[in-house]
Structure 1
Amino acid sequence: MADYLPKYFRGPKPNITVGAGGITGGKLLEHDGTVTAAGSKTVIGVAGHDQVAGKAVTYFPLPGNVHRLMAGTGGVTAGDLVKADAAGNVVTATSGTDAAEAIIGTALTTATATNVAEILGK
């Protein structure tokens, strides 16, 4: 995706050092600077641009911001609670199966897999 800007954002844009493997702009980011693991409970935001391992990347925190994120397998439906998948995309969280800490926001729009959905970060 290269450079990324959320639909709506307020607040500072912090930086983090990218972990192993590098990061792609627009992908969900873990607290250690790597692409998210499926159902991660430590998602901190969305990478603002591509970056290689060991370099700083600017990211956009999730809470209270509207992000445009790619839907993973199965897509998402407006109103769904969403979580991260292993590729740094969003998928529908399963009620009763996924931990509340893994939910990163609510889908504001519907999107099929590999299309962009608007997500209100939690």
Structure 2
Amino acid sequence: MDGNAFAPWVTAIEALVRQGKARGWVTLDEVTAALAAPEVSGELVDDLLEALGELEIEVADESEAPVLRGRFPDRLARAIGRLVRWGQERGYVTRAELLDAMPPGEVAEAVFDQTVAALLGMGIRVVEVG
């Protein structure tokens, strides 16, 4: 693959996908860095963002994702990532969804409360259903 003009991008994108699968998310800065080889078209960036979405890897703004999800083990971080994604799409998450993502036996009450505060800070309400 050394003779392939796409080799630098392929290697960087493979690493980005591995990291995204492990955490459930990557940042826009990480996507930009993966494509930092020679000049990249907007179409290639769009294709990569779409492919990451199909792999259920969230692409998050640097200011939101790592702060909230960085303190959790990977499995919980992915669940929190899904909650943030749903919350950003809908404007809310349910308390039941939050409890499923952060089981009380695995997450301390103070961390749960901090997470709720972080969601509220991102404009995502936590609502009771039923």
Specify the TM-score bucket, using the shorter chain as the normaliser.
under 0.3
* Larger radius of gyration between Structure 1 and Structure 2: 2
TM-score (norm 2): 0.25
Higher relative contact order (CA 8 A, sep 6+): 1
Structure with bigger helix share is: 2
